[in-house]
A and B are shown apart, each in its own frame.
Chain A
Amino acid sequence: MNKRLGTKSDIIFNLLIYGLLVLSLLVVLLPFLYVFFSSFSSKSEYLSRGFYLFPNEWTLNSYGYLLSSDGFLKAYGNTFFITIVGTLINLVITCLMAYGLSKSWLKGRGILNFMVLFTMIFNGGMIPTYLILKELALIDTYWALFLSGAIAPFILIIMRSFFSNIPEELEEAARIDGCNEWVLLFRVVIPLSLPSIVTISLMYAVMHWNSYFTAILYLNDSNKWPVQVFLRQLLLESDSSMETHIGAFEYGPPVKMAAVIATALPLLLCYPFMQKYFNKGMFVGSVKG
């Protein structure tokens, strides 16, 4: 018996484990790689050649088309705007409320906590929410996106439990030094909580970057559309109807692939940074949410 490999059945076990891991690796990775490499392909090669992973002829035409088309750049810019402003609004409102609710001595805290929890299991539904936003004249403004999702309840709860774990003594000391609650929050609590604030910022930013439904629900003006909506419109155009657009006709399906890559890229670039945080387990709560 080979001591390193173990018995025969252990060898089979290992083959199975590594085989399945390699399989899941490929299932996840190959579609991305296919889209990535094909986005550098020319239209004629893509349409005339059978299946291939690597193009014979590499070209940046698809990306050139995207960058030269107004629609894409505009939508991309809109998404950046929505993500940055939206996340800032989320952060301010969430952190303030979470800090307030983290004090166990606060009167009325139980009712407020219940109010937050209840929205996680019951909601008024799509139509009443839409009508409220319409009534407030928020339709077709970015405020609809910023305000309708100003707080994600499960992120508020994560932040609240983080704040309530900050040692009481620290705050008492600051209070004795004459700090009021505001100074305490901004000078002591927030600097201490930076890692979790970064984490929830990333969670909110990912939500804003990826959101598609709220945009089609609340924005009718195509000039305001985020890149997710642009990508969806592009994907819906069948290749025959693409021929009516003089620009897209020349580049064909690879333009779609370039748009998929461009839309996913910022998140993929941020991913290594995010990983540092979710490995710490902060993200686990979000799975339950």
Chain B
Amino acid sequence: MQKAWRRGFPLYIMIAPGLLYFLIFRYAPMGGIILAFKDFDPFVGVFESSWVGFQHFEALFAEPDFWRLLKNTLILSGLNLFLFFPAPIIVAVLLNEARVKWFARTVQTVVYIPHFVSWVVVAGVTVVLFATQDGGINKLLADNGFSRLEILTDPSYFRGLYLFQNIWKEMGWGAIIFLAALASVNPTLYEAAVMDGAGRWRQMWHITLPALRTIIVLMFILRLGQVMETGFEHIYLLQNSLNLAVSDVFDTYVYRQGILQGEYSFTTAVGLFKSVVGLAFVMIANRLAKKYGEEGVY
């Protein structure tokens, strides 16, 4: 017993800085959640501030803003789940089916690139392309006698633009995991199918897609666990005073009302609501994944 601890001693020293990081920057904020049940007074500090029970939550659920935040979050997540989700699968199937390998590799290299640029750069490219006066797309429209589109400011374009940016940035990178699944398909299956007279369509339908089924279901479940995560930077950079009604989500609301306006207690409650719902989704997703015979995520 004593010996095991002694043998481990240098390892505990190695773990210590990391452990401190987790305790101070990850777990101490979890303790800070008590703020959600207090009325924070910056002059007396977190511990001395008075308790208010569930008052902030009652205020939150009574707030019309709350339903707007929830609706926006669910709509954007829905777009991700149902319309973004197929994009990487399609890219992977296309890359797999292309028999000219140098061409497939070139496309693969290029479609990975946007994953590595920041959301600010994506926002920059978006502004340069879609600005109403000088944007490339609007210039093109104007040249051909069409009227200009207010893509960046008209709220009705926001959700489409959000989805398109997501697809543009992540479809290539997201394909990696599906490509990995396809790489393990035994090539003799295709050869046998050719012998049996199956054309390319039937090979795709009966070999390629079934090979992806397990990973597709698993990835979908994992995404389901991320319903509350719509990407803070992504949305914040696309947000402006004109599209706030459709673009405001929990994170951007907490940042605006909490950090900028100083309503610390109330926004801690908003953040806690989001984290708890998020946790519930992850747990449901994990249960589903296990039921499906996968290892789960934790």
Q: Give the CA-CA distance A27 to B27 in the complex, in Å.
A: 43
Q: In the complex, what residues of B have CB within 8 A of residue A127's CB?
A: 32, 35, 254, 258-259, 264, 267-268, 271
0/1 interface trace, chain B 125-138, chain A, CB 8 Å (1 if under) = 10111010110100
Does A137 sit within 8 A of B, measured CB to CB? no
> Is A93 within 8 A of B129, CB to CB?
no
Residues of the A chain whose Cβ atoms lie less than 8 Å from the Cβ of B106: 25
B279 touches A128 (CB 8 A): no
Could you tell me the dominant secondary structure of chain A's interface residues?
Answer: helix
Selected from B10, B29, B98, B173, the residue in CB contact (under 8 A) with A287 is: B173
Partner of A128, one of B32, B124, B174, B200: B32
Of the 9-residue stretches B59-67, B69-77, B89-97, B155-163, which lies at the interface with chain A? Answer: B89-97
Q: How many A residues touch B, CB cutoff 8 Å?
A: 96
Q: Looking at the assembled complex, report how far the CB atom of A168 sits from the nearest CB atom of chain B, in whole angstroms.
A: 14
Instruction: Check B271 against A126 for contact (C-beta < 8 Å).
Output: yes
Q: Indicate if A107 sits at the interface (CB-CB under 8 A).
A: yes
> Residue on B with the closest CB to A260?
B124
Contact of A13 among B104, B199, B259, B278 (CB under 8 A): B199
Given A94-B18, A127-B264: A28 in contact with B237 (beta carbons within 8 A)? no
Please indicate the chain B residues that have their CB under 8 angstroms from the CB of A101 in the complex. 15
Contact A217 B259 (CB under 8 A): yes
Within 8 A of B (CB), among A97-133: 97, 99-101, 103, 105-107, 112, 115-117, 119-133
Residues of A236-281 at the interface with B, using a CB-CB cut-off of 8 Å, are 239, 253, 256-257, 259-260, 263-264, 267-268, 271, 274-275, 278, 281
Contact (Cβ within 8 A) A34 B31: no
The answer to whether the Cβ of A156 comes within 8 Å of any Cβ in the partner chain is yes
Say whether A27 contacts B8, CB under 8 Å: no
Which of A13, A51, A132, A210 lies in contact with B25, CB distance below 8 A?
Answer: A132
Interface pair A126/B123, CB less than 8 Å apart: no
User: Whole-angstrom distance between the alpha carbons of A217 and B7 in the complex?
Assistant: 43
Residues on A with C-beta less than 8 A from B104 are: 21
Q: Would A284 and B176 count as touching, CB distance under 8 A?
A: yes
Contact call B116/A25, Cβ cutoff below 8 A: no
- Cα of A101 to Cα of B30 in the assembled complex, Å: 23
Q: Does A38 contact B (CB under 8 A)?
A: yes
Q: Complex Cα distance A31/B123, Å?
A: 12
8 Å CB contact of A239 from B22, B133, B140, B237: B133
**Within residues 10 to 65 of chain A, which ones have a CB less than 8 A from any CB in chain B?**
10, 13-14, 17-18, 20-21, 24-25, 27-29, 31-32, 34-35, 38, 46-47, 50-51
Residue of A at shortest CB range from B90? A20
Task: Give the residue name and chain of the B residue nearest to A39 (CB).
Answer: B128
Given A25-B110, A97-B14, A127-B264, output 6 extra A-B contacts at Cβ < 8 Å. Answer: A13-B200, A14-B200, A99-B14, A124-B28, A127-B259, A284-B177
- A123 near B98 (CB under 8 angstroms)? no
What's the Cα separation between A283 and B177 when bound, in Å? Answer: 10
State in angstroms the CA–CA spacing of A106 and B11 once bound together. Answer: 8
Residue in A18, A148, A156, A212 whose beta carbon sits within 8 Å of that of B120 in the complex:
A212
Chain A residues contacting B28 (CB-CB under 8 Å) are 124, 128, 132
- B148 at interface (Cβ–Cβ under 8 A)? no
Query: Quick check: B14 and A131 within 8 Å, CB to CB?
Result: no
Specify which chain B residues have a CB less than 8 angstroms from the CB of A28 in the assembled complex.
Answer: 110-111, 113-114, 168, 172
Which one of A66-74, A80-88, A179-187, A193-201 is at the B interface? A179-187
Q: Which residue of A lies closest to B285 (CB)?
A: A121
Q: Within 8 Å of chain A (Cβ to Cβ): is B180?
A: yes
Task: Give 22 pairs: A residue, B residue, CB < 8 Å, sorted on A.
Answer: A9-B200, A20-B94, A21-B94, A21-B104, A28-B172, A34-B128, A93-B17, A97-B14, A115-B19, A117-B298, A125-B274, A126-B267, A126-B271, A127-B271, A128-B28, A128-B33, A128-B268, A130-B258, A228-B118, A253-B131, A260-B124, A271-B116
The residue in chain A whose Cβ has the minimal distance to the Cβ of B4 is A107
Return the chain B residue nearest A7 by Cβ.
B199
Residue contact A281 to B180, C-beta cutoff 8 Å: yes
Cβ contact within 8 Å between A51 and B22:
no
Task: Tell me if B251 counts as interface (CB < 8 A to partner A).
Answer: yes
> Once the chains bind, are A209 and B118 in contact (CB under 8 Å)?
yes
Write the nearest CB–CB distance from B243 to chain A, whole angstroms.
15
Instruction: List residues of chain A with CB within 8 A of the CB of B7.
Output: 105
Chain A residues, CB < 8 A from B120? 210, 212, 228-229, 231-232, 235, 263
Q: Is B107 among interface residues, defined by CB-CB distance under 8 A?
A: yes
Q: Indicate if the CB atoms of B25 and A156 lie closer than 8 Å.
A: no
B116 CB → nearest A CB, Å: 5
- CB-contact partner of A46 in B123, B134, B171, under 8 A: B134
A219 within 8 A of B: no
Does B201 make an interface contact (CB < 8 A)?
yes
Bound Cα distance A21, B110 (Å): 11
A170 within 8 A of B: no
